[in-house]
Chain A
Amino acid sequence: MECYFDNSATTRVYPEVAELMMKIMLEDYGNPSSMHLKGMDAEVYVRHAREAIAKSLKVDDRCILFTSGGTESDNMALIGCASANKRAGMHIITTRIEHPAVLDSCKYLESQGFEITYLDVDTNGQISLEKLEQAIRPDTIIVSIMYTNNEIGSVQPIEEAGKIIKAKNPGTLFHVDAVQGFGKYRIYPKKMNIDLLSVSGHKIHGPKGVGFLYIGEKVKIHPIIHGGGQQKNLRSGTENVPGIVGIAKATELIYQDFDSDLDHMYALKERLIKGLLEIEDVKINGLTGRDSAPHIISLSVGSIRSEVLLHALEDKGIYVSAGSACASNKPAISETLKAIGVEKRFLDSTIRFSLCPSNTEEEIDYCIEVLKSILPMLRKFTRH
């Protein structure tokens, strides 16, 4: 049986999305900037895609900027806004458990003279709203908080944070990295005081190489990619038309059966956790109920290195990731796990399951059964 439990790394593209993209690549392959009819057709596709996404967020379609993915969206939000707003202040607030796309952009801004405050998280991986409020200063230009953590699935109190930020300093921009949250939650930037929202296509059963950044109407932002002046000169480069149409279609589809999909994933998560906890010397990191993300389960397994467990599961057709796949080419210990105070012996022994609506109960049961059967054997041989 093949069980793909690595949906936070990437997802399978919806067949409808793939078909639509295929049609655009083979038939409607014009450049939206071309003056002829084929170009206009492509432009219409992009416009419709923009409208569909805007509708799902209940925002104006002029607020959607297409990018190459989550990383570019995060870079654009932080570096583009820092550059455009530095006269108002040089202070930025973020958390210790952000994705490297945010953390490393902040590091870059630090080298450019900006001051960064990193908010700690508790053992559940959540920030303290009080500490957030204390951290906001008159010169704070951006607060960047992720919706859902990619390693442990903790969910931040985004709506409350938005209120606090705007009450304390109405000029501060609120950026939310929703790469793992979009499609799992209904996110309405205006209602939640979000000024910037990053989303990636391939985490919601859309294509890789495309994402978007919601940019509120009044937000001052500078481009980070320069050139031919596409997308109102904010993001030059010929629009990735198949990708853009793909992410829009995926957005529509992911919210189609949203409530039942959510119930299904929470049920699977509960079933998996129940099974996992029957195994000796394991620990689930972060919260496990409806107060956590529906699709992410972080499991620490005593006395076994995550890479070995990953390959042993792979051998049985079960695909998981060790820590976070996006950071897995750097074999460094996860900052997120350290930040939530995971015991030292578990740091290098943590794997992540991430689900999608098409996973089944049978897959979950098979996975538990496999783990129970291979762990005693694997645990016999550990490094000393």
Chain B
Amino acid sequence: MYSSFLIKYAEIGIKGKNRYLFENALVNQIRFAMRRCEGEFEVRKAEGRIYVDASGNFDYDETIENLQTVFGVSGICPMIQVEDDSFENISRVVVDFMDKAYPDKNKTFKVYARRSRKTYPRNTMELNADIGEVILNAFPEIKVDVHNPDICLYVEIREKVYIYSQIIPGPGGMPIGTNGKAMLLLSGGIDSPVAGYMVSKRGVKIDAVYFHAPPYTSERAKQKVVDLAKLVSRYSGPINLHVINFTDIQLAIYEKCPHDELTIIMRRYMMRIAEAIATETDCLGLITGESIGQVASQTLHSLACTNEVCTLPVYRPCIGMDKQEIVDISEKINTYETSILPFEDCCTIFVAKHPVTKPNLNIIKRHEHNLDEVIDDLMKTALESREIIEVR
């Protein structure tokens, strides 16, 4: 019965003179999401609202599902439109709407009328009362409850008349592309895709970097990361995934540095490489899935050590979350199943039995000097030989 959707957006509405930028970005993102759906859609901005009109065959559930991936959307209202030719006509459509949308009439309702066209002959209070009366006359079982209604019937008098009663929650956040770009360190685990999702929810476009260590990590592990990036890109839009061959750097660290510090030193080099790519690709920050104390390399001491190599801000949206909270989000965004596939990633393969949990920065730095002879060349080669995969 529905062929149009009213899109509600929360935070953008309170922006000042930049508001149009956010609205335009949102329209673009909705158009992009609608391309994944069967059917023709027109996305239009009118009177401070965004509307999605479907024409021809379209799949209602698929459309809602895809609208729910667009950051900036706070609510999706499936609605019907009528030409404003007479109050009788509107009444007829309202009755028909109530009949189809609510087969069980043993309910309470309230009418929320709204006029943006102030020349309309009845005012809002009159409209509420008159439409309420029409419904009461049509369905004897139905009752009015203005405090706790089961059904909130919205009737908006604009250029046309819009009728809806359902607000399906959207993902919230801000439209992608309104807040710059950041570089996500994407492993094959549970946390990093969630971190990418959370930052992009605030309107940030993301690119990603993955550290591949053949033959210690397999092609399947890499494919898994590509799959994860694809799942995140449903929300974040296209992602450029930079695949770094990290084997030689890892082996050099292994050979020249104490084994209990391997992970910290390795992570410091990952951050350095990520920052180098970030700078080159106009990213304004790095994103990691770290959470305090989850593993040895994520104690406050270790985080301080890895953070020390970066000048760009490092965003860690999972920092205060428990594992289960992260898992809950990963299940919501559908990355969990892929994340738990059992392929080794480069973080797990060279782990020492007892890695340091309270690394001392000065000692780490001293040990890193063991790499002085080779590391610049290795970093350069790793950066230059990287593979870039466009994930969309």
Contact = CB atoms under 8 A, between A and B. Distances in A.
A380 B255 contact: yes
A307 B218 contact: yes
Interface of B is mostly: loop
B255 A308 contact: no
- Of the four ranges (under 10, 10 to 19, 20 to 34, 35 or more), the interface on chain A belongs to 10 to 19
Interface stretch (A56-64, A247-255, A310-318): A310-318
Contact of B349 (A309, A330, A331, A383): A383
B216 A308 contact: yes
Which of the listed residues A309, A330, A384 has the most CB atoms from chain B within 10 Å of its own CB?
A: A384
A308 B215 contact: yes
Interface string B245-270: 00000010011000100000000000
Contacts of B219: 311
A381 B215 contact: no
A383 B350 contact: yes
Contacts of B168: none
A375 to B, nearest CB: 12
Contact of B259 (A308, A309, A315, A384): A384
Contacts of B214: 311, 315
Contact of A311 (B215, B251, B254, B353): B215
A307 B219 CA distance: 11
Contact of A315 (B215, B255, B342, B353): B215
Interface string A128-143: 0000000000000000
A312 B216 CA distance: 8
A355 B219 CA distance: 24
B218 A381 contact: no
A384 B216 contact: no
B259 A311 contact: no
Interface residues of B, number: 17
Contacts of A312: 215
Contacts of B351: 383
B156 interface: no
Contacts of A310: 215
A311 B247 CA distance: 13
Which of the listed residues A315, A330, A383 has the most CB atoms from chain B within 10 Å of its own CB?
A: A383
Contacts of A309: 215
A331 to B, nearest CB: 5
B344 interface: yes
Contacts of B146: none
B20 to A, nearest CB: 52
Interface in A313-351: 314-315, 329-331
Contacts of A311: 214-219
Nearest to A374: B215
A384 B349 CA distance: 10
5 nearest CB pairs, A to B: A311-B215, A312-B215, A331-B342, A381-B254, A311-B218
9 contacts: A311-B215, A314-B215, A329-B342, A331-B342, A378-B215, A381-B254, A383-B350, A383-B351, A384-B353
